[in-house]
Amino acid sequence: MSVEPAGKPTRNGTWLKFLLLLFIVAGLGGLLYWTGLAGFFFDRERLTRFLDSLGMWSFAGFIFLQVVQVIAAPIPGEVSGFLGGYLYGPYLGTLLNTIGLTLGSVIAFQLSRTFGRPAVDRLVDPRTMQRFDFLLHHKGAFLVFLLFLLPGFPKDYLCYILGLGHLPLLTFLWIGATGRLLGTIMLTFGGSFLRQQKYMELSLLAGAAVVVIFLALVYKDDLERRFKAFHEKHPRK
């Protein structure tokens, strides 16, 4: 009779965790589909009416929307980030966006850490997993911070990937709160400019964003190679 080594999860336990996570994700996906919330995230007018209808609870409702769009990684965060500025202005909008994104990032990170690689492999695109597999053996906070700071990298998926690695939760919490901040500020101010009909400022901001995104896309492959080379020199296991 074989005995599982002490301290290691059993095969049945691993599958049980995977099935539980699959049930959670499938339930969330089914809820988004059957209630129409999947398309809801792409429709600024519907989102605005919904949050306005919540009255004093609109802050909590908006934070919840941001949490959901991070956990359900394919849902675009640009719409909800822009909406935060449109509804709440540049400063309160930035604060609410940051709270929601940070909470969602930490939840995704902890889900990954709890349920493990078999589950994450089924949630994250295999090509994305292969591109950032080196992060599983890296504890360098600055490298991860750059990946969150620069546009063009799949930040929501990175939360799941990093949960499988060695990065401490408190370090990830700091990265989740600050690494997304530049993009959050730009989206929030853009939404605020639109509501105030400051089209000149909105055009300048959009132009700057296009330039940054274009440069990030042009040099993204080179940046990834440099990040991997840096990891090979400083593995920090």
pLDDT at 73 over 50: yes
**How many CB atoms lie under 10 A from the CB of residue 100?**
26
pLDDT at 78 over 80: no
Choice between 117 and 55, residue whose per-residue pLDDT is larger: 117
Q: Which of 219, 228, 25, 14 is nearest to 122 (CA)?
A: 25
- For position 74, what pLDDT does the model report? 59
Quick one: tokens of 215?
């440069």
**Torsion angle of the four alpha carbons 71, 131, 186, 41, in this order, in degrees rounded to the nearest 10:** -30
pLDDT at 237 over 80: no
CB 59 within 8 A of CB 98: no
| Section 66-93 average pLDDT | 81
Choice between 109 and 135, residue whose per-residue pLDDT is larger: 109
Model confidence band, residue 93 (pLDDT cutoffs 50, 70, 90) = very high
pLDDT at 88 over 70: yes
| Section 191-213 average pLDDT | 83
101 DSSP assignment: H
- For position 2, what pLDDT does the model report? 41
Among 10-24, 102-116, 122-136, 146-160, the range of highest mean pLDDT: 102-116
pLDDT at 40 over 60: no
- For position 7, what pLDDT does the model report? 43
CB 51 within 8 A of CB 44: no
**CA–CA separation, 151 vs 209, rounded Å?**
9
Choice between 100 and 140, residue whose per-residue pLDDT is larger: 100
CB 77 within 8 A of CB 108: no
| Section 155-177 average pLDDT | 86
Q: Which SS3 state, helix, strand or coil, does residue 5 take?
A: coil
CA 141 centroid distance within chain: 17
Contacts of 25 (CB under 8 A, 6+ apart): 123
Query: Among the residues of the chain, which ranges form H helices?
Result: 11-34, 37-40, 44-53, 58-71, 77-115, 117-123, 126-131, 141-149, 155-162, 169-178, 181-195, 199-233
What global pTM score does this model have?
0.70
Q: Which of 183, 235, 228, 230 is nearest to 208 (CA)?
A: 183
